[in-house]
Structures are given as C-alpha cells and as structure tokens.
Amino acid sequence: MPVSSFLNMRKFLLLAFLPLAPTLAQTTPPAASLGMPPARPAPPPQVLLMRVAQDGSGDYRTIQEAVNASRDLSQVTVTIQIKNGIYREKLVVPAHKTHVRLVGESALGTIITGSDHTGDAAGHNTYSSQTVLVQANDFTAENITFENAAGAVGQAVALHVDGDRATFRHCRMLGNQDTLFPAVENSRQYYQDCYIEGTTDFIFGTAVAVFDRCEIRSKRNSYIAAAATTERQAYGFVFRDCKLTADTAAHKVFLGRPWRPHSRTVYLRCELGAHILPAGWDNWRDAANEKTAFYAEYQSTGPGANPSARAKWSHQLTAKEAKRYTLANIFGGESGWVPQE
C-alpha cells in the first residue's frame, strides 16, 4: 500500500472514534457507586475575632454564645472582646474550645457573676458552685472580674480552672470561701497583676499555679492558700512579688495549710501585711502533714514578715534555692510552655 493511502486510512480511523470519547467518559460510574465516600466539603473559614455586648452592638449578647461559636480544637487564638457590663452567666469553656482568649473592656467594668454555693436549693457543692469553669487548654483572660456573689455562706467558687496552660492578666477574682480553684494535677496556670480576695482557703487546688505581682486580700481571720499538691509534683502554688493585704476584720491569717499531705506553697519577695500570724503556717490539725508538706518563703517584707517565729517545719529559702523558681523551671513540661512575664 502506498504511504499516502496508509496515512489517509489512519486519519479516517482517528476521526471515526473521536466522537466516542465523551460518551465513554459519561458512562464512568460515580465514586459513590464504587463504595468511595463523597468528597468532604472544606470547613468554613475560622473567625478569629468576635465581640460581645449586651446592648446588641456586638456579634453576640452573651459570652457563652461567643465561646460556643468558636471553632472546636482551634490551633490558633480566637479572641472574644467583651464590652463592659454585668454578665450573669454560669460560663463554661469546654475542653474542645481550645485557644480561647477573653478580653474585657476593663477589669472593673467587665464582670461575670453568679451566686451558686454549697447547700443552696439547687444542691451545688464545691465542684459545681463556680461562676466560670475553664476546661479547655490554652485559655487566656484579660481585664475581667470573675465573681461569686453568694456571700459568706460556705464554699462558693468564682473561677474553677481545669485546662492546661491557662493565663490570667489584670483580672479580679471576688468571693469568700474557695474563691479561686486551680483544680487538677496536670494543669499549669499563670496569674499576672491580678486581685484575688476571699476568706477561708480562697486559693485552693492541685494545679501548679504562679501568681506574679498580685494583690491577695484576706477578708477575715482564716487561711489564704490550701494547696493539694501531689507527691509527683515538684511545685504547687508560687507567689512572686505579691502584696498580701486585709480588710479590718482580718488580723489573724495563715499563709496556708495543707489540703492534702504533700501540699507545696512558696512566697518569694512578697510584702506581708500585719494580719499574717507569726507562725505563718498551719498543719490542718494533723502533725503528720509537717513531714510531707513543703512551705517556704524568701525575702518576705512588711510587718507580717517574721522568719524567726515561723513554724519550725517551714523553710526560709537561700538565694540559690530561690533561683529555681523561674517560670521555665516551674512549668517546664514537654510542651516547653513559658508564659510571657
């Protein structure tokens, strides 16, 4: 066959089969018929800034609505700006709402309040009386008041924190007994330039918590800190450069007592008012706690500083020992979390 005839026949065959190509493609069965799942739609874009205002000028009227609207298991910070107002909410930041940051317009004007307490008609106890419960990791609050306004009626928690890597700056925690509950063992919490008030054991719990430049105000004769540190923890509650003040009704106050036997509480360079008792520490009516608890001070100042009269089983740290109490050493951990001072 001549070459020209062969090429003409090849061209004819190609042209004859070209119209079949779309038909073949249309007969391909869909993915679902082959047992394959349909393609998952892309998630909606994440909202990284929300505003809360009771007058309706923001995105939400309640803080809880804004928290609920934040993306689950967020890997980036979601900021919720809160206008001044009294928010009567039993707020919960659940474990799956990570990286939430609440920023109030002002600490004095942005108030989250409640009045649940042990023995009330609803049957609340210490672990359910809180006004605000933080279960999520990587939570931050700034310029907010957390209040339990139940009064002197027993345990009434204003703020209960379970999550890890929690930070509070320029916040106020108001209450009476059991105001602030840094609750669980695997939680690290940092409080900077905060005001915390209460009566009995008003800072209590098992978490590792550092308080930097905070005012700790006692409202009556009682105990400030009741740490429940476990024997697995190298640190418990650490107060650095804090100021301990008191109402006129409080003039016999202990620095702390052991809620659990291995309680650890340390005050470094704190100014202690005259309401702090010379002994400083109480063993919670159990001499055995004196062998396991670790209570210490370093360079306390003010009329309540009385190292020679302190309980014999407490400690006055040396300069070398005090140097260990850096945020990197206290918090450490695999995540290497060190909050900004």
Distance CA 141, CA 61 (A): 18
Name the DSSP letter for residue 234: S
The yes-or-no verdict on residue 92 having pLDDT over 90 is yes
Catalytic pick from 138, 201, 212, 282? 201
Band of residue 17 on the pLDDT scale cut at 50, 70, 90:
very low
CB atoms within 10 A of CB 336: 8
Classify 213 in phi/psi space as left (phi over 0), alpha (psi -120 to 50) or beta.
Answer: left
Rounded Cα distance between 160 and 110, Å, is: 18
- Write the pLDDT tens digit of every residue in 285-326: 999 999 999 999 999 999 999 999 999 999 999 999 999 999
3-state helix, strand, coil in the chain (%, to 5): 15, 30, 55
Per-residue confidence band for 247, with pLDDT thresholds at 50, 70 and 90: very high
Express each pLDDT in 270-279 by its tens digit. 999 999 999 9
CATH number 2.160.20.10 is the correct assignment for the domain at 108-136+144-331: yes
User: Is 201 marked active-site?
Assistant: yes
pLDDT above 80 (res 120): yes
For position 236, what pLDDT does the model report?
Answer: 98
Residues 22-47 have a mean pLDDT of: 57
The 10s digit of each residue's pLDDT in 172-200 is 999 999 999 999 999 999 999 999 999 99
Domain ranges for the chain: 108-136+144-331
Pull the structure tokens for residue 329: 């050493």
